[in-house]
Structure formats: C-alpha cells, structure tokens
Amino acid sequence: MTSADDLISLVRDYNPKTNEQRLRDAFAFGEEMHEGQFRHSGEPYFTHPVAVAAILTEQRLDDATIITALLHDTIEDTKANFEEVSSRFGEEVAMLVDGVTKLTNLQLSSRETKQAENFRKLFMAMSKDLRVILVKLADRLHNMRTIRAMRPEKQAQKARETMDIYAPLAGRMGMQWMREELEDLAFKVLNPEGRQSIIRRFVTLQRETGDVIHRITGDMRLELEKAGIEAEVFGRAKKPYSIWRKMQEKDQGFSRLSDIYGFRVITRSEEDCYRTLGTIHQRWRAVPGRFKDYISQPKSNGYRSIHTTVSGRDGKRVEVQIRTRQMHDVAESGVAAHWSYRDGVRTENPFAVDPAKWIASLTEQFDGEDDHDEFLEAVKLEMYSDQVFCFTPKGDVIKLPKGATPIDFAYAIHTRIGHACVGAKVDGIRVPLWTRLRNGQSVEVITAEGQTPQVSWLEIATTGKARTAIRRALREADRERFVKLGHELARSAFEHVNKKATDKALETAARALRVSDVTELLARLGAAVITAHDVVQAVYPELTDKEGDEVSPRRAVIGLEPGQKFERASCCEPLPGERIIGITSRGQGVVVHSADCDRLGEFEDQMDRWVDVHWHSGTHPAVYGVTLELTIGNDAGVLGRICTLIGEKKANISNLEFKDRKPDFYRLMINVELRDVEQLHSLILMLEAESDVAAVARHRETPGTQLRTI
C-alpha cells in the first residue's frame, strides 16, 4: 500500500504549497476508520481509498479532492459521520464525501430503475460540485483494475455498468484516457476471448511489420525539424476495445482495419499547429473526409485539437492529433483541468472549461422535466457519440444510431414512407441509399407509388424497426411464391415415403404443427421456417427418421434407382447441403459431383449419363471426407492447437500431409470427416479467426487427373 509519505510526495510534485499535515491527518483518520475491514482480495480495505487518491494526483487535483478520496467511504462504511468529518476537515470536504456516498448509493445498475432516471440522478449529484464525480470515476477505475477478486456475476454487472455509464461519462468530461481504460477493463470482463484475439493479432502484426510506431514517429520528427517546428511527437497503438468497436462499426476484420495507430504532435503555439498540419499533408497523403478542426470549433468540454488521417508507411493509415501543451493538458484532464495545480498555484489554462457553467448547461433544461425518456434523449445527445440527429425538410429531428442510412431515416418517419422510398437527398444533394448519415444533416426522402422493399435493403438498413418492416414486407410479397415452393417440397417429401400430399394430409400436418391453415403451412415450408421432414413426420411419424437419428450413408442420396450405389467424386468431395449432380459409371453406379465441379464439363456431350439427385434432408453422420489446405505459423504448439480446434468442432482428422515447410510457415493438407457443408463453413470460419492461421481454403482437384469410377 502507498504510504502517507509516498502520497504526500505525489501531491508535492505538482503542488509544493500543499498542506502536508492536513493530508497526513486525513490518511491517519481513514486508516483508523477502516481498521479491521478487508477487500474481496483479502487486502486491508484502506488500500482502496489510498489508490483512488493516488489516481487523482495524476490529474494534479487540489487538496480537498485528494482528502475526499481518502475518506470517500468513511461515512458509508464506518462509524464516522458527516459532523465528525466536517469538524476535522472542514465543510467543503464533508460535502464532497457526502456527495460521493450518495452517488454510490444510487444503484445505477438496478434493473428496476430506468436508465433515464439513472442519468437524471447522476447529473443532479454532479451539479453541486463536479469533483464528486471525479472521485467516483477514480473509485470505479481502481475497482475495475482489481475486479478479478469479485464473483463472476458481480464482475459482469460492474463491467456492464462501467461500459454503459461511467466510461461514456468520463469521455464526455474530456478524460479520454480514463474512458479508454475503463472500456478496456470492462471489455476484458465482458468479452475476454474477443480482447485476447485482438492482442494476438497485434503481436502477429508487430512480428510481421516491426516497430511501425517508432519508424513513423521518427519520420514525423524529421519532417518537423526540416520545417523548423519545435514539437514533441508521440505514437501508440489503439486500445483493444477501440479496435473491436471499429471492427463492429465497419463490419471489417482486423486485417482490413487501417487506422489502428494514433500519433500526437504537441507544439509550442497555435500557429505551429497549423504549420505542422501543412507539413504532414505535404509529406503524406491526407485521407478525404477524415479531417476535423477542434481548435477553431472546440468541444463543449474545452477539448481543442486538429485531427487528420494520412496514409503513412506502406500505405497504412494513421491518425494524427495536433495541439499545444495547454490544449493537451485539457485533452488529458478534460473538465478536471479547472482544478489542476502546477507549482503550488491553480493552473491558469485559458482552454479549461468552468465546470459550473458546463454542468449547468446540461442540467438547467431538465429541471422540473417530468418525462424521463425525453431527459435521456437530451442527455444522450450531449454524452454519446453513437447517435446521430438528422432533420426532415420541415425541421423535425429524427434520432438514429451511428451508421444509419436514408433507409433507416425513411422508416423512422413512417413505415409507409420506408416502403415507398426510391432515393434520398442529403443537404439538397442526391445520394445513394447506403450513405451513412452524420449529425445535423437535412434528409429528404424521395418516394414513388408502386415501390416495394428490396432484399438488398436488409444489407443497408441498421435499425431494428427498418429491418423488421423490410422483412415483413418481403415475406408478404413472397408469400405466393413460398406457397408454390412449399407445395412442391411437400409433394416430394411425401413421395419419398410413398405417400401423397393430399389436402387431408396437409390439414393434419397443419393441426399437428399448430399452424392456422394449409396455406400458412406451405408458406412456412417454402420460406424454410419449417422443414419438409417436419411436415411428413407430423402425419407419418413411423415412416420418418426419429428426431436426432442420423441418415444412413447408404441412402444419403435421393434420386438413385433401387439397388443403385453412389460414391462421392474425389475431385470436388461434395457434402450434404450442397447441390449435386450424379454421373453414371461403367459399373452402373453413380459418382456424385458438386454442381459447380469443373469436371462436369467433361460430360457435356454425354447427357444420358447425368442423373438428377439431391442429398437427404435429414441429419447426416460425420463420415464425409473433405480436404482443407492450411498455411499456419511455424511456432511451437501451433499444429497441436489447430488439431484441438478441429476436434472441438466434432470433426475427425483422417489424414494430414505437409506440402511445404518454410522457416516461418507450414503449408499442409488436412483431411477431415464432416457432417455437412454447414459444419465445413463453421470450421473454416473458426480457423480463419485463429491468429496463427495465415490462410485456410477447401482443396479441390483441378481437371487433368483420372476420374475415379466404381
């Protein structure tokens, strides 16, 4: 645990005029009050308040805030009361400690309390003195750093609360470093596999490309020296959660992300900021649409900086932030910069925002507001970056999630408008329907009579309302086609068990499956909501495979003559679930090929040998061999881990052959026995996600070798 002398030394570094005795008294009082109390980890409880105080010294905060951190749990968890704290350390400290206590007791993660009410309470508590929330954020940061000592369910609750409330709040206050660390610590609890995957890929990237940060930082310093600009240059890789969020937002894999590195240039003056921007743009190509000037248009929390993204070494995109030292101090501390001390006096930073005015601007409009949902909407407009607010031509505001398109905008107005949408204008300019909308844009939806939703809209729409409406409309439009298809599927399925799909049989199936009528049954069958096997089994359970039974390999293919045998072609190794074509062999058996097999071209002039076959729709055993071609890292344990992953997918390895051995990679062929094409796709996706797998593909023979016959 940090001692009283160590803590005082941390404060003295930025505030030589600190009242050391007052800090020492607070340390002793807190230690006395928490004596005999222990954390979940088994450590003395007072180690926590001391750690919170140490975090706040990094923000160079005043003595009152540091003392509040040391005592923030005394009123709640010990025999100390408000009057005693006030008499010993003054009313200012007592009010701050009481404020933190009340904030702790809000039960922000309670399921019974609406999120809007949580935010209302938070802002009301903050409105008296913003230092209350600074202590609470530091308290949450230390708790997240030591969260592993808690029960798993408690960890998940605290992590979700941190991700939903405290991390966005820290970001809104301008304390971006704290937001990033809180998000990453919560991410580590909520999705440890995802975070570890990002870290593994970073390690692989660094192994492949070397120290990119060092090289680019050196290049920037050299260019600035040539231009006669004195500046500090720092580079870093972005946090795992930040990269994960970009992957989700852009729907891209790690390898396709570009701006995973960030660089900061700290200059001596505002003029040098713009000179630096020009120098960087002369040396590297700027990426269109990725420039923001927060110096001329600062954020409401005082943040000032120039942001630009350029194509750096090897075409890699890097984000560059340019600002002065004073701007940097505000960027690091946010609203907390108002209390920062340097050399014993309050820092006179012209960019620091008056916290009273800042919090007043957020709360005054909500005083007396009865509609909590409207309160939440207004707060989220201020706090969250994952929302965009656009305007109709009449000036009405439409709230949408970040990444929303004109299709989402149209459905947000009315389902009828969405169905009839044929185009859109954004700020008066015609744009494609897949355009991503931004805050403050004016959107005009162009409609046409007779227009109906298109299947491609499902790829464009992002809101649940739009996607649900589109799917419903598509189902209704396709209903007639689904009914016809369902009728054919039912006929074929019943014929397979030597029965007819009569009206009476279908009515019986509809009743058994609790479907309203035969038409609805056929529509669901055609839309693949239910299977033909389900329909037949509902009428003739004794003639169908029992649920969970596997199809016998001998009758896995339907369409063969009685007694006729089949064999899978070795060239394409077709799997259940794929479209197949049969070719009769000299021995009157049938060789089954995938419908897209290149070898089928050899039989174009022998159409009498072609047989119309398809796979049985039931569950197949995992006996169908498929060859996978993999390129994997030549590191200890990699091959064993790959084999373990394949086994976890319930696939059996029947053969393994090395094709190429390099110092850093192996190329090998693995023959695995699978159930169907769905299992194959699942296996390939899992292997592609493994950081040590450079490439994986299904191997098929090319034309030119002898066809296997039976």
Question: Hey, which residues are catalytic here?
Answer: 76-77
DSSP-assigned letter for residue 44:
B
3 state DSSP class of 393: coil
Q: What are the strands, taking DSSP E only, across 169-245?
A: 231-237
What are the angstrom distances between the C-alpha of 151 and each of 4, 46, 188? 31, 21, 15
State the amino acid at position 565 in one-letter form: K
Calculate the CA 636 to chain-centre distance: 31
Rounded Cα–Cα distance for residues 189 and 159 (Å): 7
By CB atoms closer than 10 A (0-12, 13-18, 19+), residue 525 is buried
Would you say how long the chain is, in residues?
A: 710
What are residue 707's phi and psi, to 5 degrees?
-70, 140
Candidates 222, 299, 215; CA nearest to 261 is 215
- Planar angle of CA 396, 397, 399, nearest 5 degrees: 150
Rounded CA-CA distance 518/509 in Å is: 8
- Evaluated on CA atoms 628, 630, 634, 639, the torsion sign reads negative
Return the H-helix or E-strand segment holding 656. strand 652-661
In contact, 53 and 96? CB cutoff 8 Å:
no
3-state helix, strand, coil in the chain (%, to 5): 50, 15, 30
Phi, psi of 445 (to 5 degrees): -90, 130
CA-CA distance, 86 to 602, in Å (whole number)? 94
Report the chain's terminal Cα–Cα distance, integer Å.
78
Three-state DSSP class for 138?
helix
Quote the crossing angle between the two packed helices 47-57 and 131-145, to the nearest 10°: 120
